[in-house]
Structure 1
């Protein structure tokens, strides 16, 4: 199979609940996506990734699936999906679905049956353990969303495992029937013509024998050493490849939670025949300590450079990465890594110059192409994300911080920041819906929206379009070998990329201040490919960079 289409392609992640509401019930839907396919085609998108659209009670906004082969009624019908798939393919784009295979909903028929009795045929679809002698849970594992990862079932007197919410019981992949169920669900969608899967928390599917207690080493390290990379994980992934993926012109993209650059090759190296690519969390969590948004550190450019370098070196010519700087689980890219106030447009464009010239399949999260920013939620009553709500409630019990401080942290790094409705125009609710949406619209929709930017040739949206158009015809953007310049510079990120005889120079000023950079030989200001400012200050071989200025130049 020729997989260059997904290596060179650009993925656009759609969070359906927040993308476009076609029937004005306050919730985005499949027909809303269909309405915007022309917009996505014009943006130069190659692959659409939909966050879960399957039947779900929505405890975690669709990541708790109650039926893997049915569409959530709020999103539409199977006929709507078939039309979306057909019209996506008609425009030359691919469609990828979100596979949530580590857990399902407690309202799935499997779990409803499993609860009926200990000898029910579905009991072994999940992880059940007896209480300790003191009646407590089987071990000290904590949920990603706070509290114990074990929930007591009064009827059977046993605990079941849920690494996420209590309504998301973990599936027992040791049971071959579970694997068969998941594989058959994948085939169902692939037979329809779906082009692959983004695999949610897939490194967690194999549990360690005996469910050992987690050491007190910080939550992120616990994820790597206890929850992820289990003893049979690669066996399961090879089985998935052999029984499902290899029979289709489709690809697999892993959410690399718990994977580091030392073991990434075990998942994605070409000779492993497991996964086609993954995106890691080192960039996404570079301002987050221990995998918890309430523990943060200042942005450090040199640290970001080191992350890009170590991952690039780890997979060079052996495997493939997805290149992601934002998604539905993290605060907005421009608010985290740029300046979303004074230099909002400049920094949003500069960040995209960086992202578009990093090796790997480019991932854009909805709204980043217009520079959508974090939102300020005024009270906990406006928060919708279960992770943030659990953090707030847990804090009320522990009283580690004030309510005001807890809400401040939620506003800084909470997941609702990325989930606010897409801002299409300056009309009511940003054109997302004429009724009150499920989540508050960012009040800055009057300034930040697609219509305003469509009519501005210097907008972030048109900048994205232009850069993506250039990237499509310049393989050096995707495959070029990287050499860093001024590596220890805390405010400038500069590197060359070389592919065959083609060589480019990328210069990025991560600063609110003017900065100077000396050009290497055979590279002049006459060969500018991309510039996020209309002008460039140049003094012989020294470039005077404006705040958040970004450039791509071609060597002679």
Structure 2
């Protein structure tokens, strides 16, 4: 295997640590809990685990406001717990990816506490400070992604500081070389502890306009929508200087790569397709030097129609730079779950799509059992996004609820205490334990698809060829050497006959979203409503 096969050909599984498994009864998931559930990941068949932030934090934004980049929050455990988890994951063949949050710190981080101490403090320029506007208000019109201005006034020093998110999350000044070197040392700290890579939070936000110009109005903004989208973030995201920074980050992780395994950078980038491609970086000596996996989020907001998804896949494949590794995402901790977006039957189709497209798939914990968003009553809301703008439905609590392990243990086997968020009302039957023994379950489907992907080079490293199978059916071939597989996904609610030119008689159904279908195709293949199949040519 090549040194980069694990992230090019493997599957990444995201764990939101607060909600995966609690080991001590406080209602919050932790590192020992993750370690106790490694069997599930091995049985599922994933290759790498990405863990959302576990660093010390006041938890204003549940760990994305970091007060110490080089330690573990006591809610999640200790560095010793982390080392034990890393060692056991490594022994079981799992790679470990951590969240890296470089855009901002907590306002309780020692760096910011020094920075706000006085205008002459050596760390003053580590953050973005500006004088008030002539009327005493914010320096410009920049907006926080969590509502309101991106500026908060500090009475002690008489200036405003910038925060792209909560006021408790002041933005670092990435134009300052001392800041960049300090953050690269954070990467080195975790790489020395055996981490295999990083998912970089809001990577495209790091650099702001050096002239602090106002962002222009968004002509497509609709009244009543997310107020953060009222302006186009021309001067606050995706600045040209980012291209040099991603090369610097890549060089840091490359220091720790070896012939057996490269280290990987995964970038969180909500950008148009052309700009997303730029984050693969410039080509030097025949190799791309940027982020190996700029997250491809197009499926998160796509209309669930064959023509729409087919168009997305074709355009993405055509846009990839030479040598770039594709990737696909169906869900994460910030977006509604796939089963809530499209329903359980279509979520099965989505699983086959994700695990048969060319490129690295990322699974969000719980999607493998069909977890749905859980309505959270106003008095139980935890997410500051929702608290800052109540009633808009912007909160992310519904997709962060606890993993459902069992139908008999208290709280679905997640905790013996009171869970930090309520569980779904279906936990008694929608759980890992009950689905593990049901060949028709979502979990069984995921396991079959992952096992097929692992043993078929055509699926984990083969080429991609779009095919035409008629209305409502998305079709493509995956090929490696002489082995050619055809993937057929019926997005429609009626049966769809498939041309024998695509699937000749004698082809073998290797997988179907409908558990009862298998074996050799006799005559013309007819897809059932909302059925997906993977077929080998005769």
TM-score by length of 1: 0.88
Equivalent in the alignment of 1:79? 80
The 5-angstrom pairing of residues 414-493 of structure 1 reads 414-426=395-407, 427-486=409-468, 489=471, 491-493=472-474
1:530 alignment partner in structure 2: 511
Query: In 2, Cα distance between the equivalents of 1:357 and 1:263?
Result: 22
Report if the CA contact (8 A) 1:130-1:158 is conserved.
yes
Please give the alpha-carbon distance, in whole angstroms, between the structure 1 residues aligned to 2:189 and 2:107: 22
Instruction: Describe how 1:329-340 pairs up with structure 2 within 5 A.
Output: 329-336=334-341, 338-339=342-343
Tell me the C-alpha RMSD between the 2 structures.
Answer: 2.3
Partner of 2:317 in structure 1?
Answer: 312
Residues 265 and 476 of structure 1: CA distance in aligned 2, closer, same or farther (over 3 Å) = farther
Normalized against structure 2, the TM-score is what?
A: 0.91
Alpha-carbon separation, structure 1, partners of 2:136 and 2:200: 35
Contact 1:13–1:366 (CA<8 Å) still a contact in 2?
A: yes
Provide the residue aligned with 2:263 in structure 1.
250
Equivalent positions of 1:505-544 (< 5 A) are 505-521=486-502, 523-524=504-505, 526-536=507-517, 542-544=524-526
Q: CA deviation at 1:268?
A: 4.6
Q: Distance in 2 between matches of 1:221 and 1:360?
A: 34
Out of 374, 380, 395, the position equivalent to 1:382 is 380
Query: What residue ranges of structure 1 are gaps of 5+ in the alignment?
Result: 287-297, 393-402
Q: Distance in 2 between matches of 1:480 and 1:440?
A: 42
Structure 2: distance between partners of 1:105 and 1:92: 34
Deviation at 1:63, TM superposition (A): 0.8
184 and 313 in structure 1: CA distance in 2 versus 1, 3 angstrom threshold: same
Q: Is the 8 A contact 2:144 2:165 kept in 1?
A: yes
How many Å apart are 1:326 and its aligned residue? 0.5
Question: Structure 1 residue 317: deviation in Å?
Answer: 4.0
Q: Distance in 2 between matches of 1:300 and 1:138?
A: 45
C-alpha separation in 2, matches of 1:373 and 1:182: 36
Aligned partner of residue 264 in structure 1, secondary structure: helix
Where does structure 2 lack aligned partners over 5 or more consecutive residues? 222-227
Post-superposition offset of 1:86: 0.4
- Verify the 8 A CA contact 1:237 1:274 in the aligned structure 2: yes
110-119 or 525-534, which moves further after superposition?
525-534
Q: Do the aligned residues in 1 keep the contact of 2:279 with 2:291 (CA within 8 Å)?
A: no
Displacement, 1:150?
A: 1.0
* 495-504 or 361-370, larger mean C-alpha shift: 495-504
Aligned to 1:157: 158
Q: Is the 8 A contact 2:503 2:525 kept in 1?
A: no
Q: Secondary structure at the match of 2:313?
A: helix
- Decide whether the 8 Å contact of 1:203 with 1:259 is kept in 2: no
Pairwise CA distance, 1:500: 2.9
Matched residue count: 520
Alignment of 1:109-508 (within 5 A): 109-217=110-218, 218=221, 225-248=234-257, 249-258=262-271, 260-268=273-281, 271-286=287-302, 299-315=304-320, 317-336=322-341, 338-339=342-343, 344=344, 346-377=345-376, 379-392=377-390, 403=391, 406=392, 409-410=393-394, 414-426=395-407, 427-486=409-468, 489=471, 491-508=472-489
Q: CA deviation at 1:305?
A: 2.3
Structure 2 residue matching 1:498: 3-state secondary structure: strand
Deviation (angstroms), 1:282: 2.4
